[in-house]
Structure 1
Amino acid sequence: MREYLLTILAAALVSYLLTPAVRRFAVWFGAQAVPRDRDVHVIPTPRLGGLAMFGGMVAALIVASGLPEMRKVLADSDISVGRALLLSGGLIVLIGIADDRWEVDALTKFAGQVAAAGIFIMQGIQIYVIPLPNGEPLSLPPGYGVPLTVFVVVATINAVNFIDGLDGLAAGVVGIAALALFSYAYILSKVNGVTTLSSATLTAAVLFGMCAGFLPHNFSPARIFMGDTGSMLIGLLLSGSTITLTGRFDPVILANGLFPFYVPLLLIPAVAAVPFMDMLLAVWRRTNQGRSPFSPDKQHLHHRLLELGHSTRRAVLIMYFWVGLLASGLIGLTLFDHAWKTLGVTLVVAIAGMLLMLATPWRRRRGGAAEPGPGGHGDKDRSAERPRMPV
């Protein structure tokens, strides 16, 4: 655990310290989010925060390469995780910088995402097996494994990009997802007597540190946005950790039945249920209206929460709550024998959260006044005036 903590600390500290310098560079470079009709902000704010996160990732990998046990993970002949993250992450960051500054078209970004997935595959990060209900792993030939890997990478990147619409939302949600993946891999390895050192756990640790270091600068009111540079990068790492976790545990050695074998396939859809659902609804909505699925609008889930009467910060915390609840519920089902108890507790917490979410704006409307924002202006939440990434 010491090695992982040092890696997380390096990623968080460097991301945190680099962000102010990146912010100044973004202003000089002209990479700023200009308010538009569909946005919920009124002043420009620098983008390119993902550049600082990439620096945190590089620092974490350097620190990991200096730790004896982590060096073994990076030297794995089957999965070159360090090279994969540097090469594919570097490509994604270059495309993101161009998009944050000059607005690259959707097809070019898609091609870059596919290329990044191709780098993953060349470095050994690929879906090789899928668990079957009878407990036997199904080996996938390259003709099936390669396109499935590309789909997972591209879908995860775009799901994260879709949710990047409020201060701190994407960084917090992906940070929770990374922490859930790390906890799953580490604790399950400990319980079942398997080595805790793996490329999947390392990737999740690095991702969590990157998000934790950037979030203080990005939470409402945000001083900088991660931009497509950051949202695509953290989506890439999230998919990489998921893919390398798939099939890692042999069903024979698992103490709690077959369910833990399926968790990597379920965890990301669970913790990313909010962005994935938002993405699918957006595609369906825009297609139904005869528009391109990539055409932007102002009907995302976070926009709807604001319309219900929640402040920007509260809307973000609500999203954190649901993602955290889904992730912890899955981890609980993996670790504890009595599934019905875990499901019962999760259901009770979910009902309580739903009631609180609906009751708070109702009480505010009944009171006749909006909750004072951070600036203390009564009917105006100043955090809503900060620019956020267009989606």
Structure 2
Amino acid sequence: MRDYLFAFVITGGLTFVFSWVVWRVAMKFGLHPAIRERDVHKNPTPRLGGVAMFIGMLGFFVLSSQLPAFAIVWQEPSMVWSLLGAAALMVVVGVADDLWDLDWMIKLGAQFVAAWIVVFLGGIQIFYLPFGQQVVVSSWVSISLSILLIVIVMNAVNFIDGLDGLVAGVCLIANAVFFAYSAMLVRDFDNSEQSNTGVFIAIVLLGMCAGFLPFNWNPARMFMGDAGALLLGLMMASSAIVVTGNLPPNLLSDNDLFGRSQLLGAFIPVILPVVIVLLPLVDFGLAVVRRMGQGKSPFSPDRKHLHHRMLDMGHTDRNAVFVFYAWTAVVSLSVLLMYIGTTKGWPGRYWPGVVFLVVGCIACVIVTLPPARRTRRVVPQRKVLS
């Protein structure tokens, strides 16, 4: 665990330092686009945070190649270098879009290319579907599913990037939960190089988000832009595939390990990677349905995302961000507790996770309500003397 803490601190430190450097350069040379109608901020702000995040990630990836503690991650260097290559492509395309507003088809095409690099060249694929012993036997199905998942998550994360600190904080919470899940999985059941790479990616993501968040907190000095959001989506999807999509069938079908005799336990490895990006996926799905229903491109911008609706309800920027944090923490932590309940030594005890989910959702619904409705007080009428 000390090695992971070291990775978190170094990645976070590098990201913080380079965020300051990128911010100073952007402000000196005026590298910030004009404010758009759908934007929430009022002052011109650089959108180059993704560059700093990538440099922080790249710095620790290179450093880790020289550290014996992370030697298992580099047993398949093609996987690591393909991730870095795809990430670099997304950062370049994201920066170009933030500065010159690229056509959505160009961005989508670049996303598929990046996903293809990770899947085809890096071998990061969904080889097993964790439903009993069901296996993805067709290579083209495995490749297609993996590419599609990566592209969807990248766009989902990018779609919620609309408030100061929203994406960085949500991804920080979600990846903290996923790191805990994958670290326990590797410790107890599957100490393969693939799973260790997934844990490694998760902790590096935590460092990137933590190092950048001080610059992105309201009022933000810098945004991560498309470069940062697409980078986070790419790495989150890749880590989930590496950990969950490679679990061997004999592990998934062993009732002594996961309590597979119960239905919920059979779906835990699938549910948890999904719920950590549940909020972005919901916003992405609603946006696609809404825009296509209006006869528009699913990638045409508008001001009807979930965070926009929160502002329209009367929430301040910070309050809206905290509400999203709360939903992310409640849903992801509840499923993590359910996962713990399926492990050996605590079989079938889902109730802590279920109770946490129910109570947490009730609390989140209350804080999501319009502030005026939550704070409205009944003023007693004055008694009229006759």
TM-score under structure 1 normalisation?
0.87
CA drift at 1:41: 2.2
CA distance in 2, matches of 1:330, 1:352: 17
Aligned match of 1:211? 209
* Aligned mate of 1:223, from 205, 221, 224: 221
Matched, 1:346 2:351: no
**In the superposition, relative to structure 1, how do residues 213 and 260 fare at CA in structure 2: closer, same or farther (>3 Å)?**
farther
Consecutive unaligned residues of structure 1, counting only runs of 5 or more, are: 368-391
For residue 68 of structure 1, what is the amino acid of its counterpart? P
Q: CA deviation at 1:247?
A: 3.0
Consecutive aligned runs of 4 or more in structure 1 exceeding 3 Å deviation: 27-31, 191-197, 258-264, 363-367
Counterparts of 1:148-159 in structure 2, within 5 Å, are 148-159=145-156
How far did 1:173 drift? 1.1
Decide whether aligned partners of structure 1 residues 146 and 41 sit closer, same or farther in structure 2, where only a CA change above 3 A counts: same
Counterpart secondary structure, 2:72: helix
Tell me the CA shift for residue 165 of structure 1: 0.5
Distance, in Å, in 2 between the alignment partners of 1:262 and 1:112 is 32
**Hey, what does 2:123 align to over in structure 1?**
124
Tell me how far 1:260 sits from its aligned partner. Answer: 6.0
- Where relative contact order (Cα < 8 A, 6+ residues apart) is larger, the structure is 1
Equivalent AA in structure 1 for residue 330 of structure 2: L
Deviation per CA, 1:96-143, whole angstroms, max 9, x where unpaired?
1111111111111111111111111211111111122xx214133211
Which has the larger displacement, 120-129 or 159-168? 120-129
SS in 1 for 2:9: helix
1:248-263 superposed matches below 5 A: 248=247, 250-252=251-253, 255-258=257-260, 262-263=267-268
Compute the displacement of 1:28 (Å). 4.6
CA contact (8 A) 2:91 2:227 kept: yes
Deviations for 1:64-101, whole angstroms, at most 9, x for unmatched residues? 22321312221237xx3321221111111111111111
Does the residue aligned with 1:129 lie in a helix, a strand or coil? coil
Maintained 8 Å contact 1:251/1:257: no
Q: Shift of the alpha carbon at 1:290?
A: 2.1
Look up the SS of the partner of 1:255 in the other structure: helix
1:388 matched residue in structure 2: none
Report the CA distance between 1:347 and its aligned residue.
0.3
Are 1:26 and 1:46, in contact at CA under 8 Å, matched by a contact in 2? yes
Query: Is residue 2:369 matched to residue 1:358?
Result: yes
> Which residue, 267, 278, 297 being the options, matches 1:292?
297
Q: Which amino acid aligns with 1:157?
A: M
| Number of the residue aligned with 1:312 | 317
Q: How does 1:33-52 map to 2 (within 5 A)?
A: 33-52=33-52
Aligned to 2:57: 57
Corresponding residue of 1:240: 238
How has the CA–CA distance of structure 1 residues 220 and 366 changed in structure 2, closer, same or farther, with 3 Å as cutoff? farther
Does the CA contact (< 8 Å) of 2:45 and 2:221 recur in 1?
yes
1:260–1:242 Cα change, 3 Å? farther
Give the stretch that moved more between structures: 32-41 or 237-246.
32-41
Structure 2 equivalent of residue 139 of structure 1: 136
Cα distance in 2 for residues equivalent to 1:41 and 1:366: 32
Task: Work out whether 1:332 is the aligned partner of 2:328.
Answer: no
Identity of aligned residues (%): 38
What's the secondary structure of 2:303's corresponding residue?
coil
1:170 is aligned to 2:167 = yes
Give aligned pairs, total.
363
8 A Cα contact 2:10 2:60, kept in partner: yes
Larger radius of gyration: 2
Which residue type is aligned with residue 328 of structure 2? V
Residue 344 of structure 2 is matched in structure 1 by: none
Distance 1:33 1:315 in 2: 25
Matched residues in 2 for 1:265 and 1:31: separation?
41
1:269 maps to which residue?
274
| Gaps in structure 2 of 5+ consecutive residues | 342-347, 379-386
2: CA distance, partners of 1:229 / 1:193: 33
Do the aligned partners of residues 81 and 193 (structure 1) sit closer, same or farther apart at CA in structure 2, a change above 3 Å counting?
A: closer
| Separation in 2, partners of 1:49, 1:188 | 32
- Name the residue aligned to 2:103: 105
1:167/1:219 contact within 8 Å kept: yes
**CA, structure 1 residues 344+365, in 2 after alignment: closer, same or farther (shift >3 Å)?**
closer
